[in-house]
Amino acid sequence: MTRDDSTALMAAAVAAALAGPGPELSAARRELLVSIVSVARAVFGAAAGSILLIDERTGELVFEATAGEGEEHLVGNRFPSDQGIAGWVAATGEAMIVDDLAASAVFARDVAERTRYVPDSIMAAPVTCAGVVLGVLEVLDPAPQSRSSLGDLDLLTLLAGQAGIALRGVARDAVVRPDPGGPEPDYERLVDLIRLYLGWDRPRQAAGFRLLETLGSVLSAAGQ
Amino acid sequence: MTAATTGRDETLTWKLGGRSPDEIAINTTVDQRITRDWAWAGATGESVRVCVVDSGVQGDNPLVGPIQGSYALAGEDPGSEPTVVETEAEDAYGHGTACASIIRRIAPQCKLYSMRVLGKVGGGTGAALLAGLRWAVEQRFDVINLSLSTTRPQFDRELRALADQAYFQNTIMVASAHNTPVESFPWRYSSVISVGSHSQNDSDFVLANTRPPVEFFARGSAVPVAGLDGKPTRNTGNSFATPHITGRCALILGKHPGLTPFQLKTILYLTSDNVRGGA
């Protein structure tokens, strides 16, 4: 991550935190996501479908909408986003299909623990909004003709794009996705300080800012 | 969708799509001495150093074989450049392992290396991609397989400079086109070899694209690859088309060491299945 990039992300995080709690997934939006999953499941003749969103604070993927096998218990379930097929799609923003999974003992055990359903085939496409990956639209065990179809992968990507539009303005955390390799930024304490600053009158703000600038210079010099 | 609604040039193609190979036939009068037999018959990729910049490569996977070296990004400060460390041959996603198994199948005696830019540490950002790729270029690998790209324009300039550096030092960079028609990097640069997918059930079938930005189409559908338990799965996507071209480059370089990227790309073109009169 470049310094500019890092700075922009931190600024976005602070702005988002100052704005207070973001809008929750409304019932209507959640209904739309479920509808998109259901359409995907029907179009590809799949056993199940899910939309998983990235929880930036925990680095996990969370089931937000499901249809078919496992739909009763999956919503709210979480698993690490740095592994597996859905994790790959979330990390790269690239769609893919993996077929013939039944022979994979490793994969089957992993998926079974999470979903109580063991698929033989997975199609997955990124849910994006304004170029930012918010999550993954996943279809389990599509009909055989879809399991290696580049055209069907394109279609799933289009449906995932609709989910991204449905989420516009909701998943603001995805915009401030921190570098997984970096330390957890202590935004909350920083925001508390900024709130305190904003509550002061103008002269006190100016004096406070000068103090912060001086402190910044001292810390910068000490770090060199 | 129209060009007006998508904001891009609709004449550009990312993948073969519904077209048949005959629809993009190319007739050439170029010297017919460049044939497949001349280019790579009998070659195994022996002594060619290939680096897979991806999610890591599983070390003990029987469908991948020996890994000469595994490296990853490290670094705790999000404001600074990640550093590169030697690491265990691991792959949490399975993607890099799948790509490596395709290269191994095509060029069985090439020397495979892994640079992990996605996964446990420091991954998932354009910066990680840039840092990992920079390291791979500095190591002067013969071929770099990059089944990844970044959509973030702030990395465009540095990635382009890096691709040029690779080009002029004779490191072949083979890069996946994005699966969807969005702008991403570095596959868009003319200094790399860019790859999209066709749906033919043939790993030896390669097409030269008559319309940019993607230069070659290779098998990207139901590709037999290594799963993380060493058993085969079948994967679909541009990611898996790219290692086919990487493997072919390793074969050609094994038989004809010292080729420049310009020469190698010309050979790939003349031996493509839709180029008539050349090979």
pLDDT in tens, B150-197: 988 889 999 999 999 999 999 999 999 988 878 899 999 999 999 999
Nearest C-alpha of chain B: how many angstroms from A107? 8
**Inter-chain contact B229–A178, Cβ cutoff 8 Å?**
no
Asked whether residue A158 carries a pLDDT value surpassing 80, the answer given is: yes
- For residue B74, give the chain A residue with the closest CA: A181
**Confidence band (pLDDT; 50, 70, 90) for A143?**
very high
- Interatomic CA distance for residues B86 and B35, integer angstroms: 40
Asked whether residue A121 carries a pLDDT value surpassing 80, the answer given is: yes
Asked whether residue A130 carries a pLDDT value surpassing 90, the answer given is: no
Global pTM value = 0.80
Substitution target from A179, A186, A220 for chain B, most B beta carbons within 10 A? A179
Substitution target from B55, B63, B73, B93 for chain A, most A beta carbons within 10 A? B93
pLDDT given at position A183: 42
Nearest C-alpha of chain B: how many angstroms from A62? 17
DSSP-based three-state secondary structure for B197: strand
The β-bridge relationship of strands B193-198 and B172-176 is parallel
Tell me the mean pLDDT in the region A60-67.
88
Cis peptide bond N-terminal to B186, omega within 30: yes
**Confidence band (pLDDT; 50, 70, 90) for A181?**
very low
Asked whether residue A178 carries a pLDDT value surpassing 80, the answer given is: no
DSSP-based three-state secondary structure for B217: strand
Q: Is the ipTM of this complex over 0.90?
A: no
| Angle between helices A3-18 and A187-198 in degrees, nearest 10 | 60
Q: How many helices (H) and strands (E) does chain B have?
A: 7, 13
Higher pLDDT, A195 or B19: B19
**Inter-chain contact B120–A99, Cβ cutoff 8 Å?**
no
Question: How many other CB atoms are there within 10 angstroms of residue A195's CB atom?
Answer: 11
Nearest C-alpha of chain A: how many angstroms from B111? 25
Which residues on A lie below 8 Å from B93 (Cβ)?
Answer: 82-85, 87-88, 91
Q: What domains does chain B contain, in order, with CATH numbers?
A: 9-276 (3.40.50.200)
Contact criterion met (CB below 8 Å) for A159 and A144: no
